[in-house]
Amino acid sequence: MTKKHILVLFGGASSEHEVSLMSAASVLRAMDRSRYEVLAAGITPEGLFELYEDQAGINTNHWEGFPYRRFVHDPRRPRLLFSPGDGGVYLQNEGRVQPLTVDVIFPVLHGPFGEDGRLQGLLEMCGIPYVGAGVLSSAVAMDKGIAKRLFHQAGIPQTPHVEIRLDPRQPAIHEAVNMVESRLDYPVFVKPANLGSSVGISKAVSRDELENALRLAAAYDPKVLVEQAVDAREIECAVLGSRNPVVSVPAEVLPSHDFYDYEDKYFSGTSQTQVPANLTREMTERVQQMALQVYQLLECEGLARVDLFLERNTDRLLVNEINTMPGFTHISLYPKMCEASGIPYSQLIHRLIEDALEKESAVAVSPIGCHPAATPTN
């Protein structure tokens, strides 16, 4: 059997750089080396693509030994060059440039410059198959404000919210506070519109806290969302596939703090999760149907995790957000939900790679507008 050449990308120029390293470490460990020739390349915070040849170090925790848990530039490493003109990937080393064989790219990247459509556009210009959502879906899912507008137009229930553009250095912060207080009640959650992994999110229960939360969120993105807090259970659902996506069993997050924050998601691990969630059969089906509806509304491909709220007093389901490249760390819920649905981690990686190859071949033969119907399954 001829092995496919898979290039795993990690790091990136976003505040979720460290999370990407942890996710990529898990993906690389799970790669079936009997099926794939695996290459890894890190993207430095400055945006340089550099080949990472010490994959064996991952198994000895050398991976986590990067300074400040970041992939920093090393001039001794070979550089990756992308050439949209001839659809190639090249390796530049000591002044020499040579082509690099790549069948599929697995971009294990979170946040802007990796998950927001920009990298996907580059790969499509180069004609390289890649795992995950396309340009449009990636961009829309990353911008929570745009996604919420689409949810509203599609009649999908969600929490009341306010979308604001502001500069934390300007006095307009007070006008933003007045606007929020006129439309929402405390407590509220404040988040940057174009980030994930709970980066920059705060809970505010007073005017002073709201001002501070707005400044923090605006430091990451001038577009800020303020959402009404609800008394609800946090439910998540994994969706896998492009032509005929399948939906996992749902999971529930039981936060140890006011909410499932960045530290808890990836480092402290003090929150608890329940997979599958303790839901009735009817509610499980409702969760799966809404997850699939959101996934197809944004025309996602490959994979996504859909986050929902289940109100305690009303049993009403509300969409929170969708993540087109969810975490793949050892404590991440996406692979856990897939495993609970009968898809172990190594098989999940294989299915994602095969999906990327099938998606690429379908582009040349599928009529425009042909979207096969999909049915949620456990």
Does residue 304 have a known ligand-binding role? no
Does residue 46 have a known ligand-binding role? no
Does residue 228 have a known ligand-binding role? yes
Does residue 229 have a known ligand-binding role? yes
Q: Which candidate in 26, 138, 197, 202 is catalytic?
A: 197
DSSP assignment of 306-358: EEEEEETTT--EEEEEEESS---STT-HHHHHHHHTT--HHHHHHHHHHHHHH
Q: How far apart, in whole angstroms, are the C-alpha atoms of residue 52 and residue 31?
A: 16
227-230 contacts, C-beta under 8 A, 24 or more apart: 227/159, 227/160, 227/161, 227/184, 227/188, 227/189, 227/190, 227/191, 228/159, 228/160, 228/161, 228/184, 228/185, 228/188, 229/159, 229/186, 229/187, 229/188, 229/189, 229/203, 230/159, 230/309, 230/311, 230/318
Does residue 234 have a known ligand-binding role? yes
Q: Which candidate in 16, 18, 50, 252 is catalytic?
A: 16
Strands 88-93, 79-83: pairing is: antiparallel
Does residue 288 have a known ligand-binding role? no
Q: How far apart, in whole angstroms, are the C-alpha atoms of residue 139 and residue 328?
A: 20
**Around 59, how many Cα atoms within 13 Å sit in the side-chain half-sphere?**
6
Does residue 307 have a known ligand-binding role? yes
Does residue 198 have a known ligand-binding role? yes
Give me the helix-helix angle, 281-297 and 144-153, nearest 10°.
110
Does residue 191 have a known ligand-binding role? yes
Q: Which candidate in 15, 137, 332, 341 is catalytic?
A: 332
Does residue 320 have a known ligand-binding role? yes
Does residue 323 have a known ligand-binding role? yes
SS3 label, residue 193: coil
Does residue 118 have a known ligand-binding role? no
Length of the chain: 378
Give Cα separations from 332 to 9, 19, 251, 286, 306 (angstroms).
Answer: 18, 11, 11, 23, 13
Does residue 248 have a known ligand-binding role? no
Task: Please say if 197 is a catalytic residue.
Answer: yes
- Binding-site entries: 144, 189-191, 197-198, 227-234, 307, 320-321, 323
- Binding-site entries for Mg(2+): 307, 321, 323
- Binding-site entries for ATP: 144, 189-191, 197-198, 227-234, 320-321
Q: So which residues are the catalytic ones?
A: 16, 197, 332
